[in-house]
Amino acid sequence: MSPLIDIKGVKHAYSTADGPLPVLDGLDVTVEEGGFCAVVGPSGCGKSTLTRLVAGLMMPDEGEVWLHGEQVKGPRSTVGMAFQNPVLLEWRTILQNVLLPLEIVPNALKGKAAEDRARFLLSLVGLEGFEDKRPSELSGGMRQRASLCRALVHQPDVLILDEPFGALDAFTREDLWQTMHDVKAKEPFTAILITHDLRESIFLGDQVVVLSGRPARTQYVMNIPRSDKPTLDDLYTSEAADRLAILRQQIEIAQGRTEAEVEG
Ligand SMILES: Nc1ncnc2c1ncn2[C@@H]1O[C@H](COP(=O)(O)OP(=O)(O)OP(=O)(O)O)[C@@H](O)[C@H]1O
């Protein structure tokens, strides 16, 4: 079976006033259907650029991105996205915000079926009873939960999460990590998560990809056996500590330290 996301030898440079800025330099990432790939790497190495290529918002200069056995050649409606800033529309209720993609995506659910689905997702993330509130009436964590429902409402084949928990306080963030697992158990999806948080990467990811410094290539891939019912206690085991130590080392190497310096 071919992977659901297949990024093959992707290279990309931005045109800038000072000439081309190479950002990605031969990136290879594969994610199986139902997989959760966390991508970490030094600041500015090209992680968000990678998400734009997967969403079809930009084309790579070289290499290919394949989703579901189809080469990505333009923007795709079958992708769901959530960002650090949830950008909910204040003039719409939470329910209406979640319904938004269904008004845009072709052949989507309409009417009562659409509303039932949005309500179902809101209940999965603990927002039952908040459907008629405006975004400003919700906390940051609640807005991010609503944004997650909006990203999932049209049953995307890929969910792209670009630091969605980055602006939240530690307790809210950990709550949302657990929510992600609970939602995935009931509403399976395939995801790419960009994060700066290594604990987040090993708690949510079944694969953690470390990118090198810019121009980024795939420097290291860690596969993590997924437990049936992950809990935050999983982060306090010796296996978790070992994984975090390896990832920390890899990030240091990505930031330019040599392996000998990191080990010494
Ligand atoms: N549209 C653009 N035009 C020119 N340069 C860009 C553009 N978008 C991003 N860049 C540059 O490309 C590099 C990679 O940016 P990108 O946002 O992909 O990195 P990132 O790893 O997600 O960053 P961070 O970790 O800080 O969120 C950065 O140096 C950025 O300034």
Q: What is the tens place of the pLDDT at every residue in 9-54?
A: 999 999 999 999 999 998 999 999 999 999 999 998 899 999 999 9
- Closest approach atom of ligand 1 to CA 194: 22
Q: Is 255 in the pocket of ligand 1 (CB under 6 A)?
A: no
Q: Where are the domains of the chain?
A: 1-75+159-164+193-264, 79-156
Query: What is the rounded distance in angstroms from the CA atom of residue 240 to the CA atom of residue 234?
Result: 7
* pLDDT confidence band for 3 (50 / 70 / 90): confident
* Residue 255 clears pLDDT 90, i.e. is over it: no
Mean of pLDDT values over 182-208: 94
* Residue 264 clears pLDDT 70, i.e. is over it: no
Q: Is 23 in the pocket of ligand 1 (CB under 6 A)?
A: yes
pTM: 0.93
Q: Is 16 in the pocket of ligand 1 (CB under 6 A)?
A: yes
**CATH class, range 1-75+159-164+193-264:** alpha beta
- Closest approach atom of ligand 1 to CA 52: 18
Q: Is 49 in the pocket of ligand 1 (CB under 6 A)?
A: yes
Q: What is the tens place of the pLDDT at every residue in 93-110?
A: 999 999 999 998 888 888
Task: Select from 18, 45, 52 the residue to mutate for testing ligand 1; criterion: most ligand atoms less than 8 Å from CB.
Answer: 45
The predicted structure's pLDDT at residue 76: 85
Q: Is 84 in the pocket of ligand 1 (CB under 6 A)?
A: no
